[in-house]
Amino acid sequence: MEILEVTSEAFDTTFPNPNHIFNSGAFSKLNESRFEKVFYLIFKDTKTRLGIILGLKDQILLSPFSATYGGFEFVSEDVKLYQIDAALHSLFDWAKTRNCIGIKIIPPPFFFREDFLAKVMNCMYRAGFQTKNMELNYHFQTEKISETYEQDIWYNARKNLKKAKSFGLSFEKLDGESRKVAYDVIAQNRSERGFPLRLTWEQLMHTNSVIPMDFFLAKNTGDNLGAAIVYHMAPSIVRVIYWGDLPQFSEFKTMNFLSYELFKYYKEQGVKILDIGHSTVDSVPNHGLCEFKESIGCSVSILYEFYKDLS
């Protein structure tokens, strides 16, 4: 299996519809300066079979190198197991010629192309990758929004949603310059919790040049209570990158209201999955976050971190 090093533009031409937007050359190019080198690799025998984007740091190749998950791309979903095996062994040989000591890959959750991901993970396991972390990643299937949704969720979530509705809160999608209001609400939420935002407003807007985003606000008369920022990851899949409420308005149960309105909105837009993100760090759960996401009807899956030692 031959490996071709190409440009980000050539990578996107080869894989114009990636499994998720984090695997696009355009997104990766935004973050190239943070790493020693970024490689856009295409695997080819008689035809182009696979691709991967890897960032180099401290002699370790990383996919993703500036996002939550990365992994391999395919030209055709019926790529064979032996072709994936061959690509992995070619990758190891290629990496060793560049004095790399390891490869870390975090594939996306299984709701992104489950059949393909299952084959890749089987091949990675047999090729000697070890599982370093197993994060709990939550997602919501919009088909769950139905007449019975409130009866199906946990009692506490049902009670909180009912209370939030009693206040007559409003839900608004923001456009233009007003979008920064949502960012400021989330920044305040994170600051008060002691977790500053990683992205400045300017950096977020730079990312928005590549990733379509939606901005939402929950309000009560003149008060901004909570907000959400959502990335469009793939056809029919979005990801909640940031959401949060302001502690001084906790009586309004804003997050129960905000999540419910988001689920309804995206179902109306034809979106099937909202990726709500992981609620563990190095596999250790934030119990409050896990329970909240489960209480509002989210499903849970594993986000695997694989590592291959080349030293």
The pLDDT value recorded for residue 138 is 98
Q: Is residue 311 part of a domain?
A: no
52 shares a domain with 25: yes
What pLDDT score was predicted for residue 196? 83
- Is there a single domain that holds both residue 84 and residue 175? no
Among candidate residues 128, 162, 185, the one where a domain is terminated? 128
CATH number at residue 8: 3.40.630.30
The answer to whether residue 309 is domain-embedded is: no
pLDDT score at 33: 86
pTM: 0.94
Asked whether residue 258 falls in the same domain as residue 278, the answer is: yes
Count of structural domains, the chain = 2
For residue 42, what are the domain limits?
A: 2-128
One domain, residues 121 and 22: yes
Task: Tell me, yes or no, whether 308 lies in a domain.
Answer: no
Q: Let me know whether 53 and 162 are in one domain.
A: no
142 and 38 assigned to the same domain: no
The span from the CA of 99 to the CA of 310, in Å, is 9
Q: With 0-12 CB in 10 A as exposed, 13-18 as middle and 19+ as buried, what is 249?
A: middle
* 17, two tokens: 């519809």
Residues 237 and 261 in one domain: yes
What is the model's pLDDT at position 193?
A: 87
Question: Which pLDDT value is given to residue 213?
Answer: 98
Examine residue 51 and state whether it is found in any structural domain, yes or no. Answer: yes
Average pLDDT per 10 consecutive residues for the chain, totaling 311 residues = 97 96 96 92 97 97 96 94 98 97 97 95 98 97 96 97 96 97 96 88 96 97 95 98 95 97 98 97 96 98 97 88
- Name the pairing type of β-strands 299-309 and 130-141: antiparallel
| Residue 194: predicted pLDDT | 86
